[in-house]
């Protein structure tokens, strides 16, 4: 069956706009839009009908009537009138069977979408089409009935047309792989939703004072609701590294929420010094993404009043978060001040350096973290230990070790769960009184 014959069958049964008729032949005629195809088919049918009508053939009148009633074709109507065929305008279909005339309003929808985009900063976008189920089902049934071979899906046509229009009106390109914003448009209901892709900002943080947890720590008594014990803050500590960094960033980006990810963590009472610890902030629904990170860095540092400092802020993509969380820091440098039960000599400390440098520590999960980590024995390597005597029963140890070693337990021995330990080697009970992380060396992320 030829194209014209098939198109006529379709139009005889259903009213179809130019887009919806043309779409059934979308893979024929390169570089044309579906409405051009539809219009071309209707024009040829009109010409054919006129030729037949001149030869006084009824078929000509029949085609003209079909075009007039179901083809949204004014010319067919005019031709019938000049031929003296009276024709009731009431019979003329007003609504396309497949799209409900939605293609007539795509331009308005595109302009409204561009209005919506103005709420955000973005460099590119992607259009996603949401359609009521019955619209696609209706077209599927239609295609099956007419055995459509070269047709395209209505969703694709809406997506392409709206994408082009919005690109023109907004002067921003369509991006398929990593768009800043996905516009979800429903051409039938006119609904517009913007899905803004999160923004990821990476950097390093230092924690210069003790007593600040890395993440927000809810009050265990009220679980965040607020109670007398926590002074109605819902928190066990008034501030955290997470909050000190996230809040100014959230404000600068106008996002709805910020998630904080870091490569490992230090204890509340340990400082994080040196270059700092790598982290990423993930901002959901950011309204601003063209940011001056140097200014934000200053904002964070002013806001944190010297307790926490961030540096080397930069934009990263989503994959970075996964890599950061997966990468166990390869090496860490610690500085720990140790207090001994009895006096220690320089010779004791020399022995400690010798025994611990280049050694493997067998460490069973410390008692203090047993409630949240499996009870396993891990082997961790110590690269180097340097000891300095501070007073008769105090020393400072600088430890370079494999990531994941619990340093407090390296000192105490954790009731024999960590071996060897400082206490064990010297036969002198030792406890850490100050702990600083000097350096976190992460495998390339």
Stretch that binds Zn ion, among 81-89, 92-100, 171-179, 198-206 (CB under 5 A): 92-100
- Binding of residue 154 to Zn ion (CB under 5 A): no
- Binding of residue 20 to Zn ion (CB under 5 A): yes
Smallest distance, Å, CB 23 to Zn ion? 8
Q: What are phi and psi of 291, to 5 degrees?
A: -110, 150
Q: Which is nearer to Zn ion, 103 or 125 (CB)?
A: 103
* DSSP-assigned letter for residue 92: S
Residue 319, helix vs strand vs coil: helix
According to CB under 5 A, which residues from 205 to 224 bind Zn ion? 219, 221-222
| Interacting residues of 429 by C-beta distance below 8 A, sequence separation 6+ | 340, 341, 342, 412, 423
Judge contact between 22 and 35, C-beta under 8 A.
yes
- Binding of residue 227 to Zn ion (CB under 5 A): yes
- Binding of residue 26 to Zn ion (CB under 5 A): no
Phi-psi label, residue 283: left if phi above 0, alpha if psi -120 to 50, beta otherwise = beta
- Binding of residue 131 to Zn ion (CB under 5 A): no
Residue 420, helix vs strand vs coil: coil
Q: Which is nearer to Zn ion, 150 or 315 (CB)?
A: 150
Q: Which is nearer to Zn ion, 222 or 441 (CB)?
A: 222
| Torsion of the alpha carbons at 210, 213, 217 and 220, rounded to the nearest 10 | -50
Residue 220, number of CB atoms within 10 A of its CB: 10
- Binding of residue 17 to Zn ion (CB under 5 A): yes
Judge contact between 338 and 431, C-beta under 8 A.
yes
List C-alpha distances in Å: 205 to 29, 249, 314, 440. 59, 14, 13, 11
- Binding of residue 96 to Zn ion (CB under 5 A): yes
Stretch that binds Zn ion, among 13-21, 37-45, 142-150, 406-414 (CB under 5 A): 13-21
| Interacting residues of 79 by C-beta distance below 8 A, sequence separation 6+ | 46, 49, 50, 53, 64
d(CA 374, CA 231): 34
Smallest distance, Å, CB 57 to Zn ion? 30
Choosing from 8, 10, 76, 99, the residue that interacts with Zn ion (CB under 5 A) is 99
Q: Which is nearer to Zn ion, 69 or 252 (CB)?
A: 69
Smallest distance, Å, CB 94 to Zn ion? 12
According to CB under 5 A, which residues from 298 to 357 bind Zn ion? none
- Catalytic site residue from 107, 180, 267, 319: 267
Instruction: Please indicate whether residue 267 is annotated as part of the active site.
Output: yes
Choosing from 131, 230, 241, 397, the residue that interacts with Zn ion (CB under 5 A) is 230
Stretch that binds Zn ion, among 17-25, 78-86, 384-392, 408-416 (CB under 5 A): 17-25
- Catalytic residue IDs: 267
Where does this chain bind Zn ion (CB under 5 A)?
Answer: 17, 20, 96, 98-99, 219, 221-222, 227, 229-230
């Amino acid at each position: 069956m030829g194209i014209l014959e098939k198109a006529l069958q379709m139009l005889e049964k259903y009213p179809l706009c130019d887009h919806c008729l043309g779409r059934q032949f979308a893979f024929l005629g390169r570089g044309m839009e579906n409405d051009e195809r539809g219009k071309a088919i209707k024009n040829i049918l009109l010409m054919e009908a006129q030729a037949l009508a001149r030869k006084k053939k009824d078929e000509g009148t029949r085609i003209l009537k079909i075009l007039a009633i179901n083809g949204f074709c004014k010319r067919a109507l005019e031709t019938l009138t000049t031929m003296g065929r009276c024709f009731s305008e009431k019979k003329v279909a007003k609504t396309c069977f497949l799209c409900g005339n939605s293609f007539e309003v795509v331009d308005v929808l595109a302009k409204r979408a561009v209005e919506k985009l103005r709420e955000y900063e973005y460099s590119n976008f992607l259009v996603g089409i949401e359609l009521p189920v019955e619209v696609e089902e209706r077209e599927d049934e239609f295609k099956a009935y007419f055995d459509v071979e070269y047709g395209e899906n209505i969703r694709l046509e809406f997506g392409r047309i709206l994408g082009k229009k919005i690109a023109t009106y907004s002067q921003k390109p369509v991006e398929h792989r990593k768009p800043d914003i996905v516009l979800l448009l429903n051409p039938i209901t006119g609904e517009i939703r913007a899905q803004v892709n999160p923004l990821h900002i990476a950097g390093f943080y230092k924690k210069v004072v003790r007593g600040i947890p890395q993440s927000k720590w809810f009050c265990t008594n009220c679980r965040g609701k607020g109670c007398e014990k926590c002074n109605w803050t819902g928190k066990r500590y008034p501030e955290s590294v997470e909050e000190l960094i996230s809040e100014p960033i959230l404000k600068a980006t106008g996002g709805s929420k910020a998630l904080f990810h870091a490569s490992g963590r230090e204890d509340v009472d340990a400082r994080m010094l040196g270059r700092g610890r790598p982290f990423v902030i993930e901002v959901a629904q950011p309204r601003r993404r063209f940011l001056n990170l140097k200014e934000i860095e200053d904002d964070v540092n002013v806001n944190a009043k010297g307790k926490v400092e961030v540096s080397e802020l930069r934009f990263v993509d989503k994959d970075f978060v996964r890599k950061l969380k997966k990468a166990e820091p390869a090496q860490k440098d610690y500085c720990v001040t140790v207090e001994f039960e009895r006096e220690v000599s320089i010779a004791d400390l020399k022995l400690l350096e010798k025994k611990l440098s280049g050694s493997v520590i067998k460490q069973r999960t410390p008692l203090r973290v047993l409630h949240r980590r499996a009870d396993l024995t891990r082997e961790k390597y110590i690269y180097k230990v340097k000891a300095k005597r501070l007073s008769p029963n105090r020393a400072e140890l600088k430890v370079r070790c494999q990531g994941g070693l619990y340093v407090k337990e390296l000192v105490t021995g954790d009731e024999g769960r960590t071996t060897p330990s400082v206490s064990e080697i010297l036969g002198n009970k030792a406890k850490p009184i100050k702990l600083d992380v000097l350096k976190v060396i992460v495998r390339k992320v």
